[in-house]
């Protein structure tokens, strides 16, 4: 059987018998006074426990907040993916291309004349998806832009009708020039 701390200290010679008995008496006296309510218990342990509990609660709240942010980000990503996949237009393989800028690089998509006109007028938009680009309607692009603005590569503003008193209304600039 293992020895008590008192016996171990006595055996090691760190305390003598008189000191050990005095420590036991002091401990018993303290316990009697605590039972009578004359001496307040040592609050340092209780305070340390409360402080540790408060720190644990704060840590748990921070972890919960981080997990909630990750879950919200994952949900937004899933919504964006679903929006793109349900509203994207089919990819074309034509020799007519629409050029646009993404991250200071000129990229291009194969389009037909109708898609080119709608991209220029703002009815269609270009978004990043799965390492490539997709053409989607303006309404879907606006929803994606609310969730993640970096996914929308190009969304032109809608062209407005010319003013009635525009002096250059008779001089239309052709926008279908191919360079």
**What's this model's pTM, rounded to 2 decimal places?**
0.57
Q: How many angstroms separate the CA atoms of 111 and 134, rounded?
A: 11
**Tens-digit pLDDT profile for residues 112-133:** 989 988 888 889 999 998 889 9
Q: What is the predicted pLDDT for the residue at 41?
A: 56
Instruction: Tell me the C-alpha distance between 128 and 144, whole Å.
Output: 11
pLDDT at residue number 94: 86
Q: What is the pLDDT of residue 127?
A: 94
Ranges of the chain whose pLDDT falls below 70: 1, 37-43, 158-164, 173-179
**What gap in Å lies between CA 77 and CA 93, rounded to an integer?**
29
Torsion angle of the four alpha carbons 123, 128, 131, 132, in this order, in degrees rounded to the nearest 10: 10
Closest CA to 134 of 157, 104, 111: 111
DSSP-based three-state secondary structure for 102: strand
Q: Do residues 135 and 119 make contact, with C-beta atoms less than 8 angstroms apart?
A: yes
Would you state the pLDDT for residue 159? 59
| Residue 119 contacts residue 98 (beta carbons within 8 Å) | yes
Contacts 24+ apart (CB under 8 A), 127-132: 127/84, 127/151, 127/152, 127/153, 128/102, 128/153, 129/81, 129/84, 129/85, 129/88
Residue 134 forms beta bridges with which residues?
Answer: 127
Are 127 and 151 in contact by the 8 Å Cβ rule? The answer is: yes
């Amino acid at each position: 059987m293992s020895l008590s701390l008192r016996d171990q200290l006595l055996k090691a010679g760190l305390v003598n018998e008189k000191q050990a008995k005095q420590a036991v008496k002091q401990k018993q006296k303290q316990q009697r006074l605590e039972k009578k309510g004359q001496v307040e218990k040592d609050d340092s342990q209780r305070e340390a426990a409360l402080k540790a509990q408060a720190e644990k609660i704060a840590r748990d709240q921070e972890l919960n907040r981080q997990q909630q942010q990750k879950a919200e980000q994952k949900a937004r990503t899933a919504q964006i993916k679903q929006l793109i996949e349900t509203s994207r237009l089919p990819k074309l393989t034509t020799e007519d291309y629409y050029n646009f800028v993404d991250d200071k690089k000129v990229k291009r998509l194969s389009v037909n004349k109708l898609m080119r006109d709608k991209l220029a007028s703002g009815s269609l938009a270009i978004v990043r998806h799965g390492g490539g680009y997709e053409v989607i309607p303006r309404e879907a692009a606006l929803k994606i832009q609310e969730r993640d603005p970096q996914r929308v590569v190009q969304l032109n503003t809608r062209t407005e009708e010319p003013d009635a008193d525009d002096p250059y209304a008779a001089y239309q600039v052709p926008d279908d020039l191919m360079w």
